Amino acid sequence: MTDEPTDDPAAGPSADPEEPRLDPPAADDLGPALDAGDMTELLRAAGMADEEIARAREDHHLELLAIEHLVVPEPGEYDLEGIADASGLSPEQIRRLWRSLGFAEPQPGDHLFTDVDVDMLRTIGQLLAMGWIDDELTIQMARVIGSSLSRVASALIDSIDPEEPRVAPNRPRSDDGFAAIAPLLLPMLLQVMDYVWRRHVQAEARARMAREHAEGDPDHRVVGFADLVGFTALSQQIDAHELAGVVDRFETIAYDTVNRLGGRVVKMIGDEVMFAVPDEASAVEIALSLSETYRDDDELSDVRVGLAAGPVLQREADLYGPVVNRASRIVNIAFPGSVVASGEIVESLADAEGVTWKSIGSRNLKDIGKVPLFLVRRESASEPPRSSRHDAEKRRAERREARVAEMEERRNARRAKRAEAESSRGETAAEDPI
């Protein structure tokens, strides 16, 4: 590294030395398989036999096989006793840590662990010995890291769809294309995850300082649940592939709306999103915006939203306590397309402009008791007559039916394309066997 200016126009202005950089690996680090540009050569370079490659090709698992051997290229050498001796941790410590990371408990004689595992466990053992961390903190962090990265890994594997590959329109679909990018893609994903993690740590630190310097209870949150109406019925009409598209659309709208308006998506629970925000005004705006956005979307049905406010317990990015329970019960009694809030939110925003409150009385919530509830609307919005709501729902049902028919047509087209590709691949294999 030097301090001399660069002539590379892509380099841009000088970066902050503290800012993580996303530099792709050098070509020399990618191995011979990248230059070969051929999936078969990539797998051979990873030690795969031709018979295993041929079987994976027939099962449409070539990409998965490549990923399996690229992410952990070293073979397992140590069983539980062996890695305990090599790392200095006890077998029970290793078993507990492995379970907390989300993996099945290693059984005696299973050679699962590599030299990389030994180095990592040695580092953990040194930190424990120095007193910088304790066993409980280690297990807690392992649980959080394992749960989060399991979702990342699942999303990556789910994105590999042999029926509808996600490649640029101007790139030909072939196994070789993946071979060319695979050794580059995985290191880049590690860099992206490191960068995003740093950003989240920074954001969490800032948020905690802001809460603790602000007036009022630093544990105060407004918690909301938005439930997608009719999801069960829709899931009976379409296959898993189209259902995944519906879920993706639902999650995209939820994340875009909540984050844009200053809230945080706590988690997705099937056809429901849980969100939180420090103040009542933002929570009401998020709830109304969610209701309006889903109402206007041709591919999805209405949502119903429930809101409650008060102190919560935050642990491992999740929220717990009576406020969470109250919000989750409120959403179950809301009508499709409506926002229902508990009394403390109305009291906080009694003089707020732009919204109206209509009492729906005190409702008995399961395991909680009677709670005064209010229907929340924008001031400009009026309650439509029952016939108008029926007509609107009829139009949306017609749009959903048209969407289902479109999905079926696309599915048949993909099947025909896949059958054509299989036929072509079989002819190629017969002419040029592995």
Residues 329, 292 share a domain: yes
CA dist 377 and 383 (Å) reads: 9
271 and 360 fall within a common domain: yes
Range of the domain at 367: 216-383
Across residues 44-49, what is the average pLDDT?
79
Q: Using the 8-state DSSP alphabet, how is residue 1 labeled?
A: -
Give yes or no for a contact between 179 and 38, defined as CB atoms under 8 angstroms apart: yes
Per the domain annotation, does 16 fall within a domain? no
> pLDDT-based confidence at 374, cuts 50/70/90?
very high
Q: Is the domain of 257 the same as that of 177?
A: no
Burial level of 86, CB count in 10 A (0-12/13-18/19+)?
middle
Domain count, the chain: 2
For residue 178, is pLDDT > 70? no
Whole-angstrom distance, CA of residue 198 vs CA of residue 194: 6
Q: Are residues 190 and 268 in the same domain?
A: no
Mean pLDDT of the 189-204 span: 91
| pLDDT score of 400 | 62
Q: Does 367 or 399 have the greater pLDDT score? A: 367
Answer whether residue 393 is part of any domain. no
In a domain, 117, yes or no: yes
pLDDT in tens, 267-306: 999 889 999 999 999 999 999 999 999 988 877 889 999 9
| Cβ atoms < 10 Å from Cβ of 307 | 32
* pLDDT confidence bin for 316, thresholds 50/70/90: confident
Q: How confident is the model at residue 359 (pLDDT cuts 50, 70, 90)?
A: very high
* Residue 217 or 422, more confident: 217
In a domain, 105, yes or no: yes
Does 420 fall in a domain? no
Q: What is the mean pLDDT of the chain?
A: 80
In terms of domains, do 229 and 373 share one? yes
If asked whether residues 45 and 125 sit together in one domain, one would say yes
Is 224 found in the same domain as 178?
no
Query: What pLDDT was estimated at residue 256?
Result: 95
SS3 content of the chain, % helix, strand, coil (to 5): 55, 15, 30
Tokens of 403: 């969407």
Place 241 in a pLDDT band, splitting at 50, 70 and 90: confident
Query: Given 164, 197, 230, which residue is the final one in a domain?
Result: 197
Q: Pick from 163, 197, 231: which residue ends a domain?
A: 197
Q: Is residue 22 part of a domain?
A: no
Kindly indicate the confidence band of residue 386, based on its pLDDT and cuts at 50, 70 and 90: low
**Contact present, 44 and 65 (Cβ < 8 Å):** no
Q: Which residue has the tokens 């749009």?
A: 399
12 in any annotated domain: no
Q: Are residues 183 and 231 in the same domain?
A: no
Question: Which CATH number do you get for residue 332?
Answer: 3.30.70.1230
Strand order in the sheet with 303-311: 264-269, 272-277, 220-228, 303-311, 339-342, 369-378, 355-365
- Final residue in a domain of this structure, among 350, 365, 383: 383
Out of 109-123, 225-239, 244-258, least confident range: 225-239
Question: Both 147 and 237 in a single domain?
Answer: no
Indicate if 44 and 184 belong to the same structural domain.
Answer: yes
Q: Is 354 helix (H, G, I), strand (E, B) or coil?
A: coil
Residue 376 pLDDT > 90 = yes
The token pair that represents 112 in the structure block: 């699962």
With a cut of 80, say whether residue 215 has pLDDT above it: no
228 & 359 share domain: yes
Considering the chain, what percentage of its residues have pLDDT values greater than 90? 35
In a domain, residue 7? The reply is: no
Strands (E), 289-368: 303-311, 313-315, 318-320, 339-342, 355-365
Same domain, 253 and 373: yes
